[in-house]
Structure formats: C-alpha cells, structure tokens
Structure 1
Amino acid sequence: MARQKQLEYSEFQAAMLDEAKRRRKAAKIIAVLEHFRGSLAGLTVGDVGCSAGFIADELAAVSKHTLGVDIDVPGLRKAADRFGERVAFVCGDGTALPFPDGSVDVLVFNHIYEHVVDPDAVVAEMHRVLADDGVLYLGLGNKLGIMEPHYKLPFLSYLPERAADRYVRAFGKADHYYERFRTRRGLRRMLRAFHVWDYTFPVLATPERFAGGELFPGVLGKIARAVLGLTPRAVLGLLLPLVPTYIWVATKRPALPVGARLPQPPERVRPL
C-alpha cells in the first residue's frame, strides 16, 4: 500500500502537544545553531514541520522573522492562536515550500524526515530556499537506534515493512508501521548536496553546553564501562552507531563553527 501523507499529526501524536518537552528541544536546537552560526538576531528562520508551534515560538525569541510550515492543520490552528503575532504560520507541503529561492537564513528540520512520503524531495526544497550562507539544523532519527521512539518497541525500525507491521499490531500499537528511518550512510546520501557538520558527539559529551540530555539509557554506558573498561568518552564513541538521533548542521558552502572547539570521539570508534 502506498504511503499517504500524515495529515493532522498532532491529533494522534500527543508528544507534539507536550509543551515543556518541545521547548526543551528548542533550547538544544538554538544552542547548536548559535554555536555554529553565532547570534540569530536579524535572521529569517523557518521551522519545517512546526506543528503546534512551540519550537517556532522559541526561535522567534532569538531571530528577526520566524516562519512555521506544516500540513498539520489542527496543529497550525493551535500555533496561530497562541503565537501568530510572533510567527508567520503557513500550511504547506515540504516538497513545495512557499518561499523564494535563497530567502531563508536558517532552517530547522527536526525529527521530520521519517514522517514524509518523499524526504529527498523535501531536502531538495530546503536546499532551494536556504540562503547561500544559510544553515540547516537537522535532528535525524537513526534506523539502528535500538528503541523505536514512536512505539517504544525494540528493534522495530530494523525490520522489513511487513514484519514491522505485524510487530506493531501484535502489541496493539497501530494497524501498520508508517515511519521510514535511514542509516547514517543513507542520511548522508540524502544530504549529499550539503556540507554536513556532525554535532551528535559534542551534544552527548557536553549536554550542559547544548541544553541536551542523555540520548542513551544510563545502563548502556555502565555496562560498556564495566565490561570493556572504557572511559566515558570512549563509551560514547563506541555507541555512536546506535544513537537514536543524529544532530547535524548542514550548509550549502563549506563552513566551520564560530563557537569554541568541540570534543570529538576517539578516532578508532568514529562512525563512517
């Protein structure tokens, strides 16, 4: 069966309306963007897949113009009712963003790609509307993350489509498994038109700097340290292929972060 667009996503995914959690995510996004680009003041920022608008509202506090785009009409109504004076919300498809070429300084695409029918087309559209010196923030779910984040079933995203459908039905989670995750290699192919800077390890290693938190259950780190005798930094590096989320910043031209030097994983355990 062909995948259909996930309309009215906030109506059946309660996490989209969890204001405190969404604002915590926004704090991490802003911290990463400001480390890479510097102040966002005076810039035009777009949140692609904004839903109820909590992240867009936080972006509006640090930028000049903020745009929110989604096909989630109920979510957009809630967003416009609360934040419409600060954010311009638009009902639009990510494969045909309603913005001119090169008109947006910063784009945010956070945990969206697995929900869209054609993520490659959305990425191409973001490349089109992003300014030549613009920055794209990406929160990207990892196919090899052990615990699937939407249904909380281990190894669900590893399975072929039909097996995944049977798995979610067996546990009464859904009629079928909609989301489509990619591996790190697949994500790099999706972003091949961009230059990518990987913030995953720095956010894991220094969560206080990026308003982040644990991306791994503490027990995994404890086991790796106890069994393998590794330092915390080595443990994080070893577990990078299994992180549930990659945090990347992408640009159309080669660029380096303007912020202070970041910690990097040990060479021997850096992912491909």
Structure 2
Amino acid sequence: MAAPVRTRRRAADDDGRRRTPTDEEPEAPPGDRSRRTTDDGPDAPGDGAGERGAVDDSVSGKASGKATGRPGGGAGGERQAQLEYSEFQAAMLDEEKRRRKAAKIVAVLGHFLGRDKDVLEGLTVADIGCSAGFIADELASAGARRTFGVDIDVPGLRRAAQRFGDRVRFVCADGTALPFPDSSIDVLVFNHIYEHVVDPDAIMAEMHRVLADGGVLYLGLGNRLGVMEPHYKLPFLSYLPPALADRYVRLFGRADSYYERYRTRSGLRRMARGFRVWDYTFPVLATPAAFAGSELFPGAAGRAATAVLSRLPRPVLRALLPVVPTYLWVATKGGRRPAGPSLPQPPDPVATR
C-alpha cells in the first residue's frame, strides 16, 4: 500500500475468499523527525539506493490519522490503513500498465521542468505510495540522482526491493510522517493515492514540508464526479454516501464495502492549499502522444473521447472540468511556472484555497 497510509476495503479473491491484514505491522516511527538537512540531500533514510532485496524499515510507522464515522471500516467504525494493498489489488502488479503511467508522469514533469531527456537528472525524487516499485524504477531511469519509494505495503516493498533495490531506496513509512528533512526532495510523485488513504490532507502537508523550495509535486487525482468508478467499474459509485455505496458493491459482488474516498474538484483544490498548482489535464488530452497519455481515458471509448475533447474550444473544455474523471496537476511551493514549449492547450493555473 502506500506510505500515504493507503486504505482499502478487502476485495474478494477469485475464489470469493477474503484476505486478512498482515500480522507484520511496522513499528511506530521515531518522534523526532529532525528537520535538519545536509549538502547531500536527505539524511534519512540512508542514501539513495540500497542492497537489492532490502527494505529500509528504520523509520517504518503505523498508519495514523484515522478517519471516523465510517461504518464497518474497522474497530469502532474507523477506517484502517491497509498494510498489504498489493496483495489484493492486482493492478499494482501490472508492470506494463504501471510503466505506462510512469511514462506519462515523466513526460509531464519533463514539460514542466523544460527538459527533453534525462528529465530528472541530478534531482532527488520520492514516489509516495510506490507499492511494487515500477513507477519509482522509471523515475530512477529518468536520471534521478537519488530515488526513494515510500509505502506501508510491506509485500509490495519487498517485491520492489528484490527487483529495483540496487538503484531505489525503498522505505516502509507513513505518509503523514515522511522520513525526510524539510525542503529536501526535488520531485515528489503522489499518483492516484489520496482516495485510498486515511488522511490525505495530513499527507499533503507533509509533502509540502519535505518539498524543496524550487521543487515540484506531481499529482494524479481521481474525481468523485467521474461517472465510472475506476476500481470497481460501477457507474456513479463514488457519488453515493458510504452506506449506499457499501450496498452497491455488495449487490454486484465486488467487495464487502466501498472504502475509497474521492473528492470533487473543489475539494481537491482545498486539499492542495498552500501549493501553486498547474493543471496538465487538457494538455495531455490535446496532445496525448507527447505525454504518453493513453491512461487518462483508456480503451476505444477513451480514444474517441480524446479525439473529441482535443478539438473542443477552451471555454467548453473548462465547462467540463467538474466531471473530468482524472486530473493531472503539477504543484510547487513558489512561483515556478511551466518551462516547456508551447502547446495547443497550455497548462492552466488552478486556484487553491
């Protein structure tokens, strides 16, 4: 699962049985996440890549920031963080799909940074919610000086470390207590994670803390008002209140209950308060080949939608913003602007509040 304390109700295995949470719960993090920095970048956890197969759990932490009022979410109705998300979510182990997503992320970052190749050369990068590590590996391949993958998905981290541990440092840590000094990470990636976590606002605050003053944060964000729910493939599922959503997924045999928590565009803008945000959704729609953007609207219907959307006037596109299923944002702590070449649909600033 993800350092961001990704949370997810257990979906059924193919034989209908339910998985149980791992008994191997990480220890609580140290109370002093000293805000010191070094000339080399982060002084915790270790430096850069480690030994293949090794997971750095020196700063591992229990899931924190539990949400309340969620019926059936755990003891006392609280949402509980999932420590083995990749064990019951097969998509996290779909290497081809994860690498396609990574290609889109790198392309968007490349445009924002004004870099055509070796997009992340010389930069310290962290993928928050890395799971099995495919995206983190692609970030390392894009030239990053140091790459970290952070998650609480212990099985996913072990797989990641076995394959990519020679060039990525995988860390078991809670996203609400990131193991990095202030302003020490040049590039953060938080891709389709917020809906799975207990307290996304706390994680956003932590990412703001560790992001360098001139750094960038890539955000892949699902929209509550997207018609087709992407995990369970049920229309309008995310529109429903929790009790009705639980009944809906049970009715169609998808899961015991619906655990994701999506936000509308206005809610996401509030979540990003404190950042200056640029919206890359329309640039990717208008020029998908330039951004490896086939993941935004997959399949034949998606290709048709992309063809139509890329030709619509800008005012019409803006009117569609509230129901776009996925937003692609790049956030900064200061006044940095996109440095890439001009596009048919340029990135728009997003008003956060």
1:2 aligns with 2:78: yes
2:34 corresponds to = none
Deviations, residues 226-256 of structure 1 (Å, cap 9, x unaligned): 9xxx983247555432222100000000211
Selected match of 1:86 from 137, 148, 167: 167
1:54 corresponds to = 134
Deviation at residue 222 of structure 1 after TM alignment: 6.1
Aligned mates of 2:243, 2:120 — CA distance in 1? 44
Q: Is the 8 A contact 1:221 1:232 kept in 2?
A: no
Aligned length: 266
Aligned mates of 2:304, 2:241 — CA distance in 1? 31
Deviations, residues 100-133 of structure 1 (Å, cap 9, x unaligned): 1111000000000001100000000000000010
1:42 corresponds to = 122
Aligned mates of 2:89, 2:199 — CA distance in 1? 21
1:115 corresponds to = 196
Q: Which has the higher helix share?
A: 1
Selected match of 1:15 from 74, 79, 91: 91
Task: Work out which of the two has the higher radius of gyration on C-alpha atoms and give 1 or 2.
Answer: 2
**Cα–Cα, structure 1 residues 213 and 224, in superposed 2: closer, same or farther, change >3 Å?**
closer
Q: Is the 8 A contact 2:285 2:306 kept in 1?
A: no
1:133 aligns with 2:214: yes
Aligned mates of 1:224, 1:35 — CA distance in 2? 20
The alignment yields a C-alpha RMSD, in angstroms, of 2.5
Deviation at residue 215 of structure 1 after TM alignment: 3.1
2:105 corresponds to = 29
Deviations, residues 161-218 of structure 1 (Å, cap 9, x unaligned): 1010100010011111000000000000000110000000000111001011163465
**Residue identity matched to 1:233:** L
**Residue identity matched to 1:100:** P
Deviation at residue 6 of structure 1 after TM alignment: 1.8
**Cα–Cα, structure 1 residues 231 and 143, in superposed 2: closer, same or farther, change >3 Å?**
closer
Structure-1-length-normalised TM-score: 0.91
Deviation at residue 2 of structure 1 after TM alignment: 1.0
> Which ranges of structure 2 fall in alignment gaps of 5 or more residues?
1-76
Aligned mates of 1:231, 1:100 — CA distance in 2? 42
**Cα–Cα, structure 1 residues 225 and 83, in superposed 2: closer, same or farther, change >3 Å?**
closer
Deviation at residue 262 of structure 1 after TM alignment: 2.7
Secondary structure at the residue paired with 1:248? strand
Aligned mates of 1:220, 1:21 — CA distance in 2? 16
Aligned mates of 2:305, 2:221 — CA distance in 1? 26
> Which ranges of structure 1 fall in alignment gaps of 5 or more residues?
none
**Cα–Cα, structure 1 residues 146 and 271, in superposed 2: closer, same or farther, change >3 Å?**
farther
**Residue identity matched to 2:218:** Y
**Residue identity matched to 1:87:** V
**Residue identity matched to 2:221:** L
Q: Is the 8 A contact 2:287 2:310 kept in 1?
A: no
Selected match of 1:233 from 312, 315, 321: 312
Secondary structure at the residue paired with 2:277? strand
**Cα–Cα, structure 1 residues 155 and 59, in superposed 2: closer, same or farther, change >3 Å?**
same
Aligned mates of 1:195, 1:162 — CA distance in 2? 36
Structural mapping, 1:179-198, within 5 Å: 179-198=260-279
Aligned mates of 1:199, 1:82 — CA distance in 2? 31
**Cα–Cα, structure 1 residues 81 and 224, in superposed 2: closer, same or farther, change >3 Å?**
closer
2:180 corresponds to = 99
**Residue identity matched to 1:232:** R
Structure-2-length-normalised TM-score: 0.71
1:152 aligns with 2:228: no
Q: Is the 8 A contact 1:49 1:69 kept in 2?
A: yes
Q: Is the 8 A contact 2:277 2:351 kept in 1?
A: no
**Residue identity matched to 1:142:** N
Aligned mates of 1:186, 1:118 — CA distance in 2? 14
Q: Is the 8 A contact 1:215 1:243 kept in 2?
A: no
1:261 aligns with 2:342: yes
Aligned mates of 1:181, 1:134 — CA distance in 2? 26
